[in-house]
């Protein structure tokens, strides 16, 4: 049978994830990543790598999902959370730079949805207490939860190795 040859354009987190996924799903195929920039010179390399859906105005320019129904966004988020959780629990976690991280998300005004659609996907979601909020006098509302973080300095080279079949 002829070898299947597939080209992926772009070597940020999306292109490398796509290439790694195809390599796994199509055994024996040849995947070529075509790009003008590779890690560490992509936008993905400067991302904090926090897994949180951003519906707030500050990130609207990055992720305008207003045309995507919330149930679809939630399914995407749950699947991504579960996929990255498996990596975080595996022996690959340190190499991949994927781990759980707990923190606060603080707001200067109370958001329209105090409990966002993704609250039951992350771990331990709750509203911050008054005592916790007192540490941030400029802020009036906050959420506490545990989610996943991809350290991009490790995660992108790890994805690259998976994409070219070294892992």
Ligand X SMILES: Cc1cc2nc3c(=O)[nH]c(=O)nc-3n(C[C@H](O)[C@H](O)[C@H](O)COP(=O)(O)OP(=O)(O)OC[C@H]3O[C@@H](n4cnc5c(N)ncnc54)[C@H](O)[C@@H]3O)c2cc1C
Q: Is the Cβ of residue 27 or residue 61 nearer to ligand X in the bound state?
A: 61
85 is a contact residue toward ligand X (CB under 6 A): no
Smallest distance, ligand X to C-beta of residue 9, A:
6
Nearer to ligand X, 46 or 115 (CB): 46
Closest CB to ligand X among 2 and 36? 36
Among 6, 37, 40, smallest CA distance to 23 is for 6
- What beta strand segments (E) does the chain contain? 5-9, 30-34, 98-107, 123-127, 141-150
CB of residue 14 to ligand X, shortest distance in Å: 3
Name residues contacting ligand X, limited to 19-58 (CB under 6 A).
35-37, 42-44, 46-50
- How far, in Å, are 39, 49, 120, 145, 147 from residue 154 at the CA level? 10, 11, 28, 24, 18
Note whether 116 binds ligand X by CB under 6 A: no
- Tell me if 14 contacts ligand X by CB under 6 A: yes
Q: Is 97 helix (H, G, I), strand (E, B) or coil?
A: coil
What's the rounded Cα separation, in Å, for the pair 9 and 15?
Answer: 6
Q: Is the dihedral of CA 92, 147, 42, 35 positive or negative?
A: positive
In this structure, what are the phi and psi dihedrals at residue 131, rounded to the nearest 5 degrees?
-65, -40
Rounded least distance, CB 130 to ligand X, Å: 28
Interface stretch with ligand X, choices 5-13, 65-73, 115-123, 139-147 (CB under 6 A):
5-13
Binding site for ligand X (CB under 6 A): 9-15, 35-37, 42-44, 46-50, 62
């Amino acid at each position: 049978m002829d070898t299947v040859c597939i080209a992926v354009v772009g070597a940020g987190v999306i292109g490398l994830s796509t290439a790694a996924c195809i390599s796994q799903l199509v055994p024996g195929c040849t995947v070529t990543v075509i790009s003008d920039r590779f890690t560490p010179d992509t936008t993905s390399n400067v991302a904090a790598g926090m897994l949180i859906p951003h519906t707030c105005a500050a990130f609207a320019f990055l992720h305008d999902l207003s045309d995507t129904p919330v149930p679809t966004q939630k399914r995407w988020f749950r699947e991504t959370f579960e996929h990255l959780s498996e990596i975080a629990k595996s022996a690959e976690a340190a190499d991949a730079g994927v781990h759980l991280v707990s923190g606060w998300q603080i707001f200067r005004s109370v958001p329209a949805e105090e409990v966002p659609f993704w609250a039951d996907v992350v771990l331990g979601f709750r509203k911050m207490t008054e005592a916790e909020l007192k540490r941030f006098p400029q802020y009036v509302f906050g959420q506490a939860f545990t989610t996943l973080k991809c350290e991009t300095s490790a995660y992108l080279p790890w994805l690259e190795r998976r994409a070219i079949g070294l892992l």
